[in-house]
Structure formats: structure tokens, C-alpha cells
Amino acid sequence: MARAMFEYTKTVLKKVSFNSELFCKELKKGLESLLPYERDELTIWLKSFTANKPELLICMTLIK
């Protein structure tokens, strides 16, 4: 089930990427619900996903 949460978080983030406020909010919720190794995977995914979306880079500060 945990893997499903990881995939769900990615899906939600893709859908709300048009709005940086929503993106940050959903990223925060997703990070709270993921396991530590999934957070690491999400960080890697986020770096590639936000590479051409500079408006979303502000949300990267949520990643510790």
C-alpha cells in the first residue's frame, strides 16, 4: 500500500503543477505520508519534474 501512496502523490503533484501554491500544499501532505526511502525517491523525481518549471522551485524548500 505504501507504494500506492508514492504513485498517488506523484499523480496529484502532476495534476496541480499549474499552481505553485497548490503544488506546495500537496507536496507537504505527500511528504508527511511517505516512508523515508520514498521521500528520497520523490526528491529525485521532483528534481527532474521541476527542471523546466521554475515557478515550482520554491516548493523544493519543503524537502529537508
Confidence band for 63, pLDDT divided at 50, 70 and 90: confident
Whether the CB-CB separation of 5 and 41 falls below 8 Å is answered with no
Nearest to 63 by CA among 49, 48, 33, 42: 42
The answer, yes or no, to whether residue 2 has pLDDT greater than 90, is no
- What number is the average pLDDT over the span 23-27? 96
SS3 letters across 6-58? HHHHHHHHHHCCCCHHHHHHHHHHHHHHCCHHHHHHHHHHHHHHCCCCHHHHH
CA distances from residue 37 to 34, 42, 57 in whole angstroms, order as listed: 8, 9, 22
